[in-house]
Amino acid sequence: MKKLYTFGKYLKQKFHTSVYKVPISIPGFTCPNIDGTAARGGCVFCENESFSPNLKQKERFTLNLNSTENPLLEKQIESLKWQFENTLPYLKKRFNAKKFIVYFQSWTNTYAPFETLKALYEIALGFDDVVGLSIGTRTDSITDETLNYLANLSKKTEVWIEYGIQTSNDESLKRINRGHNFQNVIDTITKTKKLDLNVCGHLIYGLPGESRKDWEKTFNDTMNLNIDSIKFHPMYVTKNTLLAKEYFEGKFTPINEKDYIDILVWSIKNLPENISIQRMTAGIDTLLAPQWCKYKNKQMSHIIKALKENGVKV
């Protein structure tokens, strides 16, 4: 019988205690898809506030990417410490968390001068009870220098790189204004895996113009990339996004809950046993549509029920 292999289980087996990710948003960080280096205007669904709990707490800065002297670094370090210390009590109380992985979540967390990245990663690793890092980024925004540095770091500590894959369909990648194609995803993940780094891939089911056939192809293409962990998301619409405009103009119809759960269950049943699952859906504060994406707990109970009915041990 197929068993659900969560990232929590992976961490527990590895560290013999409960380990939780602490989400962090670094002030001054941005994204090549927002500053116009990759594409203009960002991904159609981008509203970092909707998936970054700590982002609302921070001030925004403009980072000079051409400068190796970063006058913001002190402020960035201060913010990193503040966010970490303020999230810890909640994780300890709610989940009895004992150890932590610092999760650089918002924006593109390898898109800054190398010395800035190195300083922030090393400060994070120095916090009490931190056993590793997880770094969210794009496949077109990580240099060989950063990859080699992280590969060395991973010999001493847990290091994860989280890449947004979203879809393997190049037409869809253009349609969502992603700013890179699927070949870029293949090349960067292949390079990352050659360095023995842990890779988590994010997939979105329900992108504009896509159907079940595209979702299955994206899943199968992703399985060829030798990733170690995966996050699944339904495509939802949040306020202040390009997708919200399309939604109001009737140009985008969100995926319904049944179709999402069907493709999710199919994916989990076809997932190789060594790939852990970090996310099966999301609950969103700033949600516009579809309404079934509002409450994560309710969605999770429907997902767990469907998994059990389809022979997956949860």
**Site residue total, ligand SF4 (CB under 6 A):** 11
The CB-of-136 to ligand SF4 minimum distance in angstroms stands at 8
Other CB atoms within a 10 A radius of the CB of residue 47 amount to 19
Under the binding rule (CB under 6 A), the answer on residue 97 touching ligand SF4 is no
The CB-of-198 to ligand SF4 minimum distance in angstroms stands at 20
The CB-of-97 to ligand SF4 minimum distance in angstroms stands at 26
Instruction: Count Cβ atoms within 10 A of the Cβ of residue 234 and give its class: 0-12 exposed, 13-18 middle, 19 or more buried.
Output: buried
Among 42, 206, 254, 290, binds ligand SF4 (CB under 6 A): 42
3-state secondary structure at position 133: strand
Under the binding rule (CB under 6 A), the answer on residue 46 touching ligand SF4 is yes
* Residues 151-170, interacting with ligand SF4 (CB under 6 A): 164
The Cα–Cα gap between 51 and 188 comes to: 24
Among 11, 19, 22, 34, binds ligand SF4 (CB under 6 A): 34
The CB-of-36 to ligand SF4 minimum distance in angstroms stands at 11
The CB-of-235 to ligand SF4 minimum distance in angstroms stands at 12
Closer to ligand SF4 by Cβ: residue 154 or 168: 168
The CB-of-142 to ligand SF4 minimum distance in angstroms stands at 12
The three-point CA angle 257-229-113 to 5° equals: 110
Under the binding rule (CB under 6 A), the answer on residue 43 touching ligand SF4 is yes
Among 7, 26, 33, 101, binds ligand SF4 (CB under 6 A): 33
Closer to ligand SF4 by Cβ: residue 48 or 286: 48
Under the binding rule (CB under 6 A), the answer on residue 205 touching ligand SF4 is no
Distance (Å) of CA 256 to CA 18, 100, 211, 218, 234: 34, 35, 12, 19, 9
The CB-of-4 to ligand SF4 minimum distance in angstroms stands at 27
* Residues 134-153, interacting with ligand SF4 (CB under 6 A): 138
Backbone angles phi, psi at 168, to 5 degrees: -100, 5
Alpha helices in 96-168 (DSSP H): 114-125, 144-153
Q: By the 8 A CB rule, do 292 and 301 touch?
A: no
Instruction: Count Cβ atoms within 10 A of the Cβ of residue 266 and give its class: 0-12 exposed, 13-18 middle, 19 or more buried.
Output: middle
What single DSSP character describes residue 255? P
The Cα–Cα gap between 196 and 25 comes to: 26
The CB-of-33 to ligand SF4 minimum distance in angstroms stands at 4
Tokens, residue 47: 């509203």
Distance (Å) of CA 154 to CA 33, 81, 191: 28, 22, 15
Under the binding rule (CB under 6 A), the answer on residue 107 touching ligand SF4 is yes
* Residues 250-289, interacting with ligand SF4 (CB under 6 A): none
Under the binding rule (CB under 6 A), the answer on residue 73 touching ligand SF4 is no
Under the binding rule (CB under 6 A), the answer on residue 58 touching ligand SF4 is no
Under the binding rule (CB under 6 A), the answer on residue 204 touching ligand SF4 is no
Query: Radius of gyration of the chain from Cα atoms?
Result: 19
Under the binding rule (CB under 6 A), the answer on residue 31 touching ligand SF4 is yes
- Where on the chain is the footprint of ligand SF4 (CB under 6 A)? 31, 33-34, 42-43, 46, 48, 107-108, 138, 164
